[in-house]
């Protein structure tokens, strides 16, 4: 399954100047797509790309969408993707992803399954239990399960989640809605990440912290200092930070102390035992601790709806879990928001 999918790598940055109609590409010398470096008119670039991709290129920049997500096939078979957003009507910017050379050598191109995230609602434990946000989870069209080894995944998930959030905010008029995207330690090593996040936030006009990045301590295992640096840069770019899976596996108080997070999610392993006195004592302490640190505290993996009252009394601010909504596609998620009830479904 994994072998069917192209392995993407970030190869550089681009900016689009609508007034001059120039696409400026910055690509380092060693890159397999270094020949794309330079300042292009769309027509000039079109001479390098496969006929079928040309319209897509023009539409991406002239089509009026805030997001730019343009997969191009070069005439020699290499494939590149431009991801980013318009900052204003006249100016867009983003990152250049390319599929590694092995894909080109294969000749005919299997485009791979298309990323099609699902979104699981996060509800406030306040009267009416309104949906306040969603966690985006990676799924591929036509695939039931599986995670593809793909360096472009985090960037594409951020792009799709920002798009989805922007649509939900427009549909509901609620600028306070948020979306969470999970990132790994390897994702944090991507140097273009803070820029892309800033571009998406500015391009869609999102409030600071509305696009949230979930991190587990796993992200810090390889190199804690660089993970923390990256987390600070992401936060400075306008994203919220949420500590994921707290209370299980790798999750220390040191990481809680270090990460400048505005939210923490307590793992299913603890929340499913909230009724037990010892676990309850732990949960009451951890929610109080989260609040002392200025964090919103979410109970995740909640499978029994009537436990919401108990979790609220313990001190949780938010719940997420099968009892309050399974992950669903974009359309269904919009319907859930329109229902307002926040009821499971």
Our CB check for ligand G shows the closer of 48 and 322 to be 322
CB count within 10 Å of CB 209 equals 17
CA distance 282 to 167: 38
Nearest to ligand G by Cβ — which residue?
Answer: 321
Our CB check for ligand G shows the closer of 187 and 244 to be 244
Long-range CB contacts (within 8 A, 24+) of 139-144: 139/115, 139/327, 140/113, 140/114, 140/115, 140/116, 141/113, 141/114, 141/115, 141/116, 142/113, 143/1, 143/113
- In order of 112, 132, 174, 187, 275, the CA distances from 163 in angstroms are 22, 17, 15, 20, 39
Q: How far is the CB of 214 from Mn ion (least distance, A)?
A: 4
Is 169 in contact with 27 (CB distance < 8 Å)?
no
Read off φ and ψ for residue 154, nearest 5 degrees: -60, -40
Q: How far is the CB of 268 from Mn ion (least distance, A)?
A: 11
Strands 178-182, 131-137: parallel, antiparallel or unpaired by DSSP?
A: parallel
- The stretch among 101-109, 162-170, 228-236, 319-327 that binds ligand G (CB under 6 A) is 319-327
Is 31 in contact with 98 (CB distance < 8 Å)?
yes
Number of H helices and number of E strands within the chain? 12, 14
CB under 5 to 8 A by kind: which of ligand G, Mn ion, none does 187 bind? none
Q: How far is the CB of 231 from ligand G (least distance, A)?
A: 17
Q: How far is the CB of 185 from Mn ion (least distance, A)?
A: 14
Our CB check for ligand G shows the closer of 79 and 212 to be 212
CA distance 95 to 11: 8
Read off φ and ψ for residue 95, nearest 5 degrees: -115, 155
Q: How far is the CB of 290 from Mn ion (least distance, A)?
A: 16
CA distance 43 to 136: 36
Our CB check for ligand G shows the closer of 80 and 165 to be 165
Our CB check for ligand G shows the closer of 24 and 322 to be 322
CB count within 10 Å of CB 335 equals 11
329 binds ligand G (CB under 6 A): no
- The C-alpha angle with vertex 20 and arms to 16 and 23, in degrees rounded to 5, equals 30
- The stretch among 188-196, 252-260, 274-282, 320-328 that binds ligand G (CB under 6 A) is 320-328
Is 137 in contact with 329 (CB distance < 8 Å)?
no
Look up residue 342 and give its DSSP letter.
Answer: -
> Which of 189, 322, 328, 332 forms a contact with ligand G (CB under 6 A)?
322
Q: How many residues bind ligand G (CB under 6 A)?
A: 13
Binding residues among 276-295 for ligand G as defined by CB under 6 A: none
CB under 5 to 8 A by kind: which of ligand G, Mn ion, none does 322 bind? ligand G
- The stretch among 49-57, 73-81, 86-94, 299-307 that binds ligand G (CB under 6 A) is 299-307
Residues lying near Mn ion in the complex (CB under 5 A): 182, 214, 244
Binding residues among 230-259 for ligand G as defined by CB under 6 A: 244-245
137 binds ligand G (CB under 6 A): yes
Q: How far is the CB of 158 from ligand G (least distance, A)?
A: 15
Our CB check for ligand G shows the closer of 6 and 314 to be 314
Our CB check for Mn ion shows the closer of 4 and 303 to be 303
Q: Point out which residues bind ligand G (CB under 6 A).
A: 120, 137, 182, 244-245, 268, 300-303, 321-322, 327
């Amino acid at each position: 399954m994994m072998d069917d999918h192209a392995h993407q790598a970030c190869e550089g940055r681009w900016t689009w100047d609508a007034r001059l109609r120039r696409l400026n590409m910055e690509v380092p010398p060693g890159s397999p797509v270094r020949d794309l470096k330079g300042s292009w008119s769309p027509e000039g670039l079109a001479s390098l790309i496969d006929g079928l991709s040309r319209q897509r290129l023009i539409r991406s920049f002239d089509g009026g969408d805030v997001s730019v997500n343009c997969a191009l096939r070069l005439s020699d078979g290499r494939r590149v993707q431009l991801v980013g957003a318009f900052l204003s009507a006249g100016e867009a910017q983003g990152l250049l992803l390319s599929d590694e050379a092995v894909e080109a050598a294969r000749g005919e191109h299997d485009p791979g399954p298309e990323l099609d995230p699902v979104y699981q609602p996060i509800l406030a434990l306040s009267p009416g239990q309104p949906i306040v946000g969603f966690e985006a989870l990676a799924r591929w069209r036509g695939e039931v399960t599986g995670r593809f080894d793909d360096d472009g995944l985090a960037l594409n998930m951020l792009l799709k989640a920002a798009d989805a959030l922007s649509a939900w905010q427009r549909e509901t008029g609620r600028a306070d809605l948020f979306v969470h995207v999970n990132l790994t330690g390897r994702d944090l090593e991507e140097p273009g990440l803070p820029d892309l996040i800033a571009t998406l936030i500015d391009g869609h006009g999102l409030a600071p912290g509305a696009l949230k990045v979930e991190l587990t301590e796993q992200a810090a295992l390889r190199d804690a200092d660089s993970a923390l640096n990256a987390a600070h840069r992401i936060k400075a770019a306008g994203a919220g930070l949420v500590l994921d899976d707290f209370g299980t596996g790798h999750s220390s108080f040191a990481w809680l102390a270090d990460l400048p997070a505005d939210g923490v999610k307590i793992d299913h392993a603890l929340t499913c035992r909230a009724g037990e006195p010892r676990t309850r004592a732990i949960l009451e302490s951890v929610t109080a601790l989260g609040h002392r640190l200025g964090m919103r505290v979410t109970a995740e993996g909640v499978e029994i709806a009537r436990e919401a009252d108990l979790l609220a009394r313990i001190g949780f601010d938010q719940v997420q879990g099968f009892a309050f909504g399974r992950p669903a596609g974009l359309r269904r998620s919009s319907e859930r928001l329109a229902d307002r009830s926040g009821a499971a479904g």
